[in-house]
Amino acid sequence: MIQKFRKGNPVETCAVSEKIFLSDGEIPFISALGEGGFEIKLADKDIVYGLGEQVRGINKRGWKYTSCNSDNCNHQEDTHSLYGTHNFFIISGSRLFGVFLDYAGSITFDVGYTRRDTMIITAEDYDMDIYIITGDSEKDIVKQFRKLIGKSYIPPLWAFGYGQSRWGYKNAEDIRSVAEEYRKREIPIDSIYLDIDYMERFKDFTVDENAFPDFSDFCSEMKSQGIHLVPIIDAGVKIEEGYDVYEEGVKNNFFCKDKDGNDFVGAVWPGRVHFPDFLKAETREWFGNKYSFLIEQGIDGFWNDMNEPAIFYTEDRLEAVIERVNELSRGNMGIYDYFEFTGLVAGISNNTGDYDKFFHNIDGKMISHKKVHNLYGYNMTRAAGEAFEKLSPDRRILMFSRSSCIGAHRYGGIWQGDNKSWWSHLLMNLQMMPSLNMAGFLYTGADLGGFGSNTTEDLMLRWLQLAAFTPLMRNHSALGTREQELYRFSNCDACKKMVEIRYALIPYIYSEYMKAALNDEMMFKPLAFDFREDSSAAEVQDQLLLGDEIMLAPVYTQNASGRYVYLPEEMTLVRMRSADDFETEVLPKGHHYVRAELNELIFFIRKGKAIPMAAPAKNTAEIDYSTLSLIGYEGAEYLLYSDDGISKDYGKAENYRVMKSKYSCSVGLCT
């Protein structure tokens, strides 16, 4: 059951797509605080699931999280806000209910941080809709919520292939050589990403003609090798006379305004930019149509970036800081002056104080950005998604974004932002999967190998062993970091085999993705969502269930050749060195130490289940669905979803087929 309550006069967020009538009376489970916030009492063993893209564990208890979309490439355990905000959580234990706060501004969830037995929710103001969802189980609550917010985005099948990306591929030659190195070693690949370097001086919807002469020929050349090019689009539009996007935006009032009604100026990659007012339907239509410039040249996938929006500086803040720094530097800079100086400089970028310097036009009213901050990235993705319906009515286009909030899941996926080549961020990648799925984001994954800082071969191998299962499998790294294309590593062969395993698993991964998207379900679940009565399963923070068939427990620590795993029931361990070199072992319910050498990917098949496997292929187009095998338990059946991977008439009855082992077999390969 879903109950909706309204406080004050909320801004329309378009997070929810189903109409629900307002309920009367008291809001259940939540008590109002005098100052306007809310509190929820937590019993000792209550678990708090959800909150989407946030740091820390699957159980969110014990920290304070703020929904305020933030560009933070240095995030760690003590970070409060990341790139996306997803105000949906479930409390499970002494009571079971879900809460969604439909709110566009900054809101803080103190989940037992100040007082262990209380969740305290405070916001900028209390103009919001509150949804309370009750149900029989966590999965039931998620399903009701997902129905409320509408169907999740579905990418083309090729977007489940391996993608290679790096900030710093300067020109067509660089990209050609990446493609060639992959081909030479026969490492499967479906896409290469174009970062800001492909643009002419970082201007959206331009291609640097010196770096990419004959861009459309280049797209065709790559397509003929089975490679899709995926260009980045940034939120800020460069201020430059003669640049059509800038000029049209100014002429038609498509940009956000400052307090005096002038186009607001911030600075990002191209220097001074204006920010499109994506909250306005006309701006979305205009900006969305601009993607046709690239679609017409053969592009069929994009990533939207810097759309929190990230602001490197605003001119007034920069001036004020420089002035103060000059003052400070004139004297004998004592330690507190020095702290002030470093703090001021560090605070120039992405300063939340800049959010009330610009305004959106919502139905003719000027609304401060601060009030609707978290809607910005969503509406950039929506601009693209709405346009793709017209520009490409029959064929899916890949779209994923950095910033998001609930609602954006209908138009695109997200990647988990600028992570680091850290073991802790590998674990965080795993921990975020179920909370993002709860919020409707199914097409997701993290920058594999880590974006910032220098990766290592063992981290890359271990990360591949998790990313082999995430819908988005993209190796991406920052300019200036150690190069991390798979062929850079001495044990490239082991990396290649991990990618081959991914391709063998694609029929299963795609099938599970589609079933989750079409049925409003989660693809990745905490163990306790299926093993509800098992108190040990409830404690597990580093394993996941994928679909109904498998459990993931990757190794995520350096110099470990195995890990402890909890099995909530008997399962079959699959230890794979390559797609056709693997062994299986039945393990009983309980705690186990499971060995997994660096070149071994492990996962578990649940009791009585089986999964389909394909022969490795060099790209998704070459996966042979006619020769799938099942691995798993004797006599097990699997409901396979498959379609052409590109058209939009999903979910037809003929797309489903039940696979069953033809021969009786024990655990192992049954065809």
Q: What residues make contact with ligand GLC under the rule CB under 6 A?
A: 167, 195-196, 232, 305, 402, 418, 476
Smallest gap from residue 350 Cβ to ligand GLC (A): 11
Considering the complex, state which of residue 110 and residue 447 has its C-beta at the smaller distance from ligand GLC: 447
From the number of C-beta atoms within 10 Å of its C-beta (0-12, 13-18, 19+), residue 401 rates as buried
Helix, strand or coil for residue 346? helix
Considering the complex, state which of residue 228 and residue 402 has its C-beta at the smaller distance from ligand GLC: 402
Smallest gap from residue 457 Cβ to ligand GLC (A): 22
Considering the complex, state which of residue 476 and residue 496 has its C-beta at the smaller distance from ligand GLC: 476
Smallest gap from residue 83 Cβ to ligand GLC (A): 8
* Whether 468 contacts 601, CB under 8 Å: yes
How far is residue 621's CA from residue 636's CA, in Å, rounded to a whole number?
28
Smallest gap from residue 476 Cβ to ligand GLC (A): 6
Considering the complex, state which of residue 144 and residue 304 has its C-beta at the smaller distance from ligand GLC: 304
Considering the complex, state which of residue 195 and residue 300 has its C-beta at the smaller distance from ligand GLC: 195
* Whether 510 contacts 640, CB under 8 Å: no
Q: Give the pair of three-digit tokens for residue 162.
A: 């391996």
Considering the complex, state which of residue 303 and residue 566 has its C-beta at the smaller distance from ligand GLC: 303
How far is residue 617's CA from residue 645's CA, in Å, rounded to a whole number?
16
Considering the complex, state which of residue 418 and residue 530 has its C-beta at the smaller distance from ligand GLC: 418
How far is residue 612's CA from residue 467's CA, in Å, rounded to a whole number?
18
Helix, strand or coil for residue 670? strand
DSSP state of 153: P
Smallest gap from residue 196 Cβ to ligand GLC (A): 4
From the number of C-beta atoms within 10 Å of its C-beta (0-12, 13-18, 19+), residue 330 rates as exposed
The position carrying tokens 């806000």 is 81
Considering the complex, state which of residue 190 and residue 234 has its C-beta at the smaller distance from ligand GLC: 234
Smallest gap from residue 232 Cβ to ligand GLC (A): 6
How far is residue 610's CA from residue 630's CA, in Å, rounded to a whole number?
6
DSSP state of 319: H
From the number of C-beta atoms within 10 Å of its C-beta (0-12, 13-18, 19+), residue 626 rates as exposed
Considering the complex, state which of residue 418 and residue 521 has its C-beta at the smaller distance from ligand GLC: 418
**By beta-carbon distance, which residue lies closest to ligand GLC?**
167
Smallest gap from residue 641 Cβ to ligand GLC (A): 31
Cα angle for residues 204, 272, 360 (degrees, 5° grid): 80
* C-alpha distances out from residue 482 to 2, 58, 437, 456, 478, Å: 50, 31, 32, 9, 9
Where do the DSSP E strands lie in 21-138? 31-32, 38-41, 47-50, 63-67, 84-85, 88-92, 96-102, 107-111, 118-123, 128-133
How far is residue 283's CA from residue 302's CA, in Å, rounded to a whole number?
19
Share in percent of the chain as helix, strand, coil (round to 5): 30, 25, 45
Considering the complex, state which of residue 196 and residue 544 has its C-beta at the smaller distance from ligand GLC: 196
Considering the complex, state which of residue 98 and residue 450 has its C-beta at the smaller distance from ligand GLC: 450
Number of CB atoms found within 10 A of residue 220's CB: 12
Considering the complex, state which of residue 234 and residue 643 has its C-beta at the smaller distance from ligand GLC: 234
Q: At what angle do helices 281-290 and 376-391 cross, to 10 degrees?
A: 60
Q: Is the dihedral of CA 530, 415, 228, 600 positive or negative?
A: negative
Smallest gap from residue 112 Cβ to ligand GLC (A): 31
